[in-house]
A = this chain, B = another copy of it.
Amino acid sequence: MENIKTLIENNGTRELQHALTDMNNIDVAECLNELDNQKMLMVFRLLSKDDASEVFSNLDPNLQQHIIEMFNDTEVEALIKDVFLDDTVDFLEEVPAAVVKKVLKNCDPKRRDLINKFLNYPEDSAGSIMTIEFVDLYRTITVAQAIKRIRSLKIDRDTINTLYIKGKSRTFVGTLAIHKLLTADDDTIIEDIMDKQFISVSTDDDRELIAEKFRKYDLTSIPVTDKENKLVGIITIDDIIDVIDEENTEDFQKMAAMSPSQDTYMKTGVFSMAKNRILWLLVLMVSATITGNIMTAYNKVLESAVILASFIPMLMDTGGNCGSQSSTLIIRGLALGELSAADSVKIMFKELRVAIVVGLALVAAFLIKSAILPPAISMSVAIVVSISLFLTVIIAKLIGGTLPIIADKFGFDPALMASPLITTIVDTCSLFIYFNVATRLFHLA
């Protein structure tokens, strides 16, 4: 890559063109993404026609936009013709209306209609991520005829790995893996070797559900059908990996109390980043008023036994950590489909047992630590802290284990019930327990 940059600096056009031909197109796109617009365009123009369309598909939307803006109509037409439909749609979703218009103007009418249709599918639906580059065959033809047909097609994509079989009135009836076709006898009828237990989705199915099916059935592509059971497109696994990555990023962000953002860290502006973070911080800050009020209500206790205050951070942190451990496991289990609302009783019981083991271990550690390290504390303070610590762990694990399940049951995203919210709730409970144990059981104030 350094080599390429040197060649660009030195205007070594000839060597540059050679070097580009030898490179993987995705690496070329990565290089171009790092150049300024002018140099990027200079290099892009050096690419062969075939490479140009693949490199274009892998560029950042702002560079794609710049290329379309600088190209004349003939150039746009030649470029866009060779870009896969799903990649064209992906990029048109990101650029201003003027650029969309210029691209559509330079498409043939059939393709223009298709693009418009695809742009109208709801975001995150099967329709929005499918492609129409697939091969379909009638079920009545023979293997030899099918192979002949496939060999005569100009297919430049690996979507041939599964063939889609249609019956009467072009309804979708089955799938056929290419290895089955190739290893069958010439005279065999397609219908006899096709797979009728295929898995399919419909255009408005959610992409998360589709990822679920790829995962479960180890698919590499899935057919998308319309309401009349006709095949309208297929979804390939490379797009599903992107979906899985994006869904995971969303969960990570929600679990850290942020509004999810599709852009990468470097590409998100300071203000939109601040905006994503402020809402939840405000909600949680205002909720912490309750904890503050508990502290205020027990001002007298703190005044007369100020030593109690020094254990508050430890209790709050431990409670928050215990709760977020449980909620993380449950949220992840729900996301991967390993857990469901039906398991809630089992989960509660398991969390209770784990909490008892963890709680006892922590209390033991606390008592040992107090005996060895300063500050020296009285027996009654040690007991008050121990009881509060144990109860905090139990409550934290039960709340952390239950809230994500409840959220899921009521149609909210379980990822919202993660560390920050759980911490705020558990803090309230643990302070309440702490002061009550101190005053009522031990009359420390």
**Interface positions of A (Cβ within 8 A of B):** 22-24, 26, 147, 150-151, 153-158, 160-161, 177-179, 182-183, 197, 199, 214-220, 237-238, 240-241, 244-245, 248-249, 251-253, 255-258, 264-266, 270-271, 273-274, 277-278, 280-282, 284-286, 288-289, 291-293, 295-296, 299, 302-303, 306-307, 309-314, 316-318, 320-322, 324-325, 327-333, 336, 338-339, 343, 346-347, 350, 353-354, 357-358, 361-362, 365-366, 369, 373, 375, 419-420, 423-424, 427, 431
On whether the beta carbons of B256 and A325 are closer than 8 Å, the reply is: yes
Residues of B close to A357: CB separation below 8 A: 270-271, 274, 278
A-B contact pairs, 11 of them (CB 8 A): A24-B197, A151-B183, A158-B179, A160-B178, A161-B220, A220-B238, A257-B324, A258-B325, A278-B357, A295-B310, A317-B423
A355, closest chain B residue (CB): B274
Q: Which residues of B contact A155 (CB under 8 A)?
A: 179, 182-183
Which of B158, B281, B293 is the one whose CB lies under 8 Å from A310? B293
Given A265-B333, A291-B314, A299-B306, does the pair A256, B419 have CB atoms closer than 8 Å? yes
How far is it, in angstroms, between the C-alpha of A65 and the C-alpha of B155 when the chains are bound?
45
A251 vs B331: C-alpha distance when bound (angstroms): 13
Q: Which 7 A-B pairs have the closest CB atoms?
A: A256-B328, A291-B313, A288-B314, A274-B357, A295-B310, A218-B238, A160-B179
Enumerate chain B residues within 8 angstroms of A302, measured Cβ to Cβ.
302, 306, 309
Task: Take A157-B179, A253-B329 as given contacts and tell me if A288 and B310 are in contact as well, using a CB distance cutoff of 8 Å.
Answer: no
Inter-chain contact B179/A278, CB cutoff 8 Å: no
| B residues in contact with A282, CB < 8 Å | 361-362, 365
- Taking the closest CB of chain B, its distance from the CB of A173, in whole angstroms, is 15
**How far is it, in angstroms, between the C-alpha of A265 and the C-alpha of B340 when the chains are bound?**
11
A151: shortest Cβ distance to chain B, in Å?
A: 5
Contacts of A292 in B (CB 8 A): 310-311, 313-314
In the bound complex, what is the Cα–Cα distance between A277 and B329 (angstroms)?
11
Smallest Cβ distance from A95 to chain B, in angstroms? 21
Bound together, the chains give a CA A312 to CA B183 distance in angstroms of 72
> Cβ of B295 and Cβ of A309 under 8 Å apart?
yes
On whether A362 and B281 interact (CB within 8 A), knowing A306-B303, A310-B293, the answer reads yes
Considering only CB atoms, which chain B residue lies closest to A147 in the complex? B182
Q: Which of B154, B241, B264, B354 contacts A338 (CB 8 A)?
A: B264
Is the CB–CB distance between A266 and B325 below 8 Å? no
Q: Quick check: A324 and B266 within 8 Å, CB to CB?
A: no
Partner of A313, one of B158, B316, B322, B362: B316
State how many angstroms separate the Cβ of A370 from the closest Cβ of chain B.
Answer: 10
Residues of B within 8 A of A375 (CB): 293, 296
Contacts of A288 in B (CB 8 A): 313-314, 317-318
Question: Knowing that A150-B182, A220-B237, A299-B307 are A-B contacts, what are 7 other residue pairs whose CB atoms are under 8 Å apart, sorted by A's residue number?
Answer: A153-B183, A258-B329, A265-B329, A284-B318, A285-B318, A299-B306, A317-B424
Q: Contact: A339 with B266, CB < 8 Å?
A: yes
- A307 and B303 contact, Cβ closer than 8 Å, known pairs A183-B155, A257-B325, A357-B270: no
- Cα A248 to Cα B332 in complex, Å, equals 9
Tell me how far the C-beta of A2 lies from the nearest C-beta in chain B, rounded to whole angstroms.
14
Are A307 and B317 in contact, with the CB atoms below 8 A? no
Residues of B with C-beta under 8 A to A217: 24, 26
Min CB distance A86 to B, Å, is 12
The distance in angstroms between the C-alpha atoms of A320 and B316, with both chains bound, is 11
B369 and A289 form a contact (CB under 8 A): yes
A309: B residues at CB distance < 8 A: 295, 299, 302, 309
Known: A293-B310, A328-B256. A361 touches B179 (CB 8 A): no
